[in-house]
Structure 1
Amino acid sequence: MDTKSRKDQPIAAALLSRAHEPDEANRIFTEKIQQRPLFLTPSSPPPADARAARRRAQEKKKQQRKKALKPKPLSATQRRRLGLYDVPRAGQKHALFEPLHRLWLGYVREILGSEVYTGGEGAAAKLASADFHGAGVEVVRSGCVSRVGIKGIVVKDSKFAFEIVTIKDRVKLVPKEGTVFRFEVPVPDLRKGVVEGQAGEGEEKMCNLVFEIHGEQFQFRSADRASRKFRSHFSKKL
């Protein structure tokens, strides 16, 4: 009877019974052979839109390659470390920024409009929200006496300071806090120009619009000031 049962059992079970105990041989045969999953490839025909599916897969791969090749933008710390915000020594010349100053004069006349003559709170709010890159500036009051009298063109309008290139081709960093800056904008003089005949034919007499701003009251980036509403404040420090 025992011999007949051995003949009827599979050859794998017979070989396992020679190498292991009966219980261990039965366990290995059941888990590794009888219950082993059998993976079959589908024999059904491909779907009708197989070409479109392959095309979508290829486009997806192309997009993934583009993302992998596209470099990530530099962070603010990396830009500062590389010196992208610094003005090179060869570029610290007042004459190089004079065209930028002329562009700024046209820009500030445009944003002021008719208020360039009337002034008032409306003009002050527009000036406080303006961008001062290229503005001609002079320090008239400061908590540090050595900064008074610095005059030049603003080459960098940051959140807390102005970088100014002077006539002597030097870049000065002037903090906004505790400092009053003076700006001059030449505008046509409608009262004394052509009316009294003081200007020649084809010429137009100009006058300077002078305004002063307290740096500590607009310690914001130029991009943030464009959408910010300003109100008049009293400065206790000055």
Structure 2
Amino acid sequence: MDARPKKDQPIAAVLLSRAHEPDEASKILTEKIQQRPLLLTRSSPPPSDARAARRRAQEKKKQQRRKALKPKPLSASERRRLGLYDVPRRGQRYALFEPLHRLWLGYVREILGGEVHTGGEGAAAKLASADFHGAGVEVVRSGCVSRVGIEGIVVKDSKFAFEVVTKKDRLKLVPKEGTVFRFEVPVPVPVPVTMGGEEGQDGSEERTSNMVFEIHGEQFQFRSADRASRKFRSHFSKKL
């Protein structure tokens, strides 16, 4: 009998015939090799898209990592509950906000420019879009008489009210509606003088003059961030 493998015989059948009887080898080949189920998995992307697929997977992992590290922003109700908008009692000191007031004076002189000397509707339009955190204000007219005379530094410029720290280190909430506020801006004014007492040798020195502005709170019933894009419209308050 010729024991050499046939040319069309599978290599598995040849190997099994060497280790088992022909019937046993045929049974093993049929049941465990030819009829064995083959479980297929999802094929990988084509070689041309493999690099793009890896890049997308890496970007997705980075986004998930950033989302896990970035804290969720607090809602408005949560910020109010935590008291993030409140000025703590130990921080209600006038001396603590005096540096902020000096910074605000430089800021308001810069935005007013040359109109700090003349005032008028141009200055009013610029003041209507200004930020008043740090402004030194005084209530000169109000629908509520008890508020007249309140004076201090604005520590919170909200939509409907100013929160003011007075010189007595007390925090006052002053509604804007029906209230007129006054503030002063010191402006250097050149004054001609005679140098050395000799005729014909004139020079100049600077002295400070306070420019007084009055603003109607009803023109400022917007958040300071929203006022920057609003147009000024002059009108009179019927409540004063």
TM-score by length of 2: 0.75
Aligned CA distance change for structure 1 residues 48 and 166 (closer, same or farther; 3 Å):
same
Alignment of 1:1-238 (within 5 A): 40-41=40-41, 47-190=47-190, 193=191, 195-196=192-193, 204-238=206-240
Q: Which is higher, the Rg of structure 1 or of structure 2?
A: 2
CA distance in structure 1 between the aligned counterparts of 2:45 and 2:111, rounded to whole angstroms: 69
Deviation by residue 1:56-107 (Cα, 9 ceiling, x = unmatched): 3133123213213321111111111110111111111000100000000000
* Structure 1 residue ranges without an equivalent (≥5): 1-37
State the shift of 1:52 in Å: 4.8
SS of 2:206 mapped into structure 1: coil
Does the CA contact (< 8 Å) of 2:193 and 2:204 recur in 1?
A: no
Structure 2 counterpart of 1:79, which letter?
A: R
Structure 2 counterpart of 1:215, which letter?
A: G
Structure 2 counterpart of 1:92, which letter?
A: Q
SS of 1:205 mapped into structure 2: strand
Deviation by residue 1:24-75 (Cα, 9 ceiling, x = unmatched): xxxxxxxxxxxxxx97336799625535533431331232132133211111
CA distance in structure 2 between the aligned counterparts of 1:231 and 1:44, rounded to whole angstroms: 66
Q: Which residue of 1 aligns with 2:34?
A: none
Structure showing the higher strand proportion among its residues: 2
CA distance in structure 1 between the aligned counterparts of 2:89 and 2:50, rounded to whole angstroms: 62
State the shift of 1:216 in Å: 1.5
Does the CA contact (< 8 Å) of 2:141 and 2:148 recur in 1?
A: yes
Aligned CA distance change for structure 1 residues 82 and 203 (closer, same or farther; 3 Å):
farther
Aligned CA distance change for structure 1 residues 44 and 185 (closer, same or farther; 3 Å):
closer
Identity %: 86
Hey, which bits of structure 1, 4+ residues long, moved more than 4 A? 42-46
How many residue pairs are counted as aligned between the two chains? 196
